[in-house]
Amino acid sequence: MFRKIINNLINAPTGKVEWLIVCLGNPGKKYHNTRHNVGFLECDYISQKLNIKVDKLKFKSLCGDALINGKRVLVLKPQTFMNASGEAVLSAMNFYKIPMENVLVIFDDVSLEVGKLRIRKKGSDGGHNGIKSIILHSNSDNFPRIKIGVGNKPHPDFELANWVLGQFEKEEQKKIFSALENTYKSIELIIDDKIDDAMNQYN
């Protein structure tokens, strides 16, 4: 136990926060493990992968300090609900003076098959309320993002809200886990200023 504490102190991130990793979702048990919360699932994956806790309440988010490829990163899990994600992002950006191009946002996409990734350097909100809020509050769409496919509703008459707030089927869960792994690998590349490589490998 003592050795673990010492290791954590030695490996604790120091210096200026260079990147924000923003994982979008909705707080609360009702939304846990739903399609719309795949960003939160990625946050949990990062937490386990790096052995960090994303549990400090700040910037209207749960936050975790991490070191990825030698760069200090703040992992954000906004607690504002999806439609107000921009409030949390802007608050953290302003505090650490992070440029928009160093704000990497991870979120769900119903236009992609389950487990497929789409990495972009910038772009419109694409109808996603979380991205819409970030663009509105920051007055910019010039930020990288990783979209994780959660599949489209099975029938045109099916309510989209019910679909995204539903959980993954058992056969979809393996695809999602693989997507979470590939998203993390993409994060490493993007933080190393190799977003083109990430797009070529994982799009």
Q: What 3-state class would DSSP assign to 69?
A: coil
Q: What is the CATH number of the domain that holds 193?
A: 3.40.50.1470
Interacting residues of 112 by C-beta distance below 8 A, sequence separation 6+: 118, 147, 148, 149, 150, 151
What is the model's pLDDT at position 140? 97
Distant-in-sequence, close-in-space partners of 59: CB < 8 Å, separation ≥ 6: 76, 88, 91, 92, 95
Number of domains in the chain: 1
Residue 155 designated active-site: no
pLDDT digits (tens, 9 = 90+) for 136-185: 999 999 999 999 999 876 656 666 666 676 788 888 999 999 999 999 99
The residue annotated as part of the active site, out of 36, 128, 137, 155, is 36
CA dist 172 to 24, 25, 62, 160, Å?
Answer: 20, 19, 27, 18
Predicted model pTM: 0.89
Q: Is the pLDDT of residue 6 over 90?
A: no
pLDDT tens string 89-123: 999 999 999 999 999 999 999 989 999 999 999 99
Longest dimension (CA), the chain: 58
The residue range of the domain holding 30 is 2-202
Residue 183's identity, in one-letter code, is T
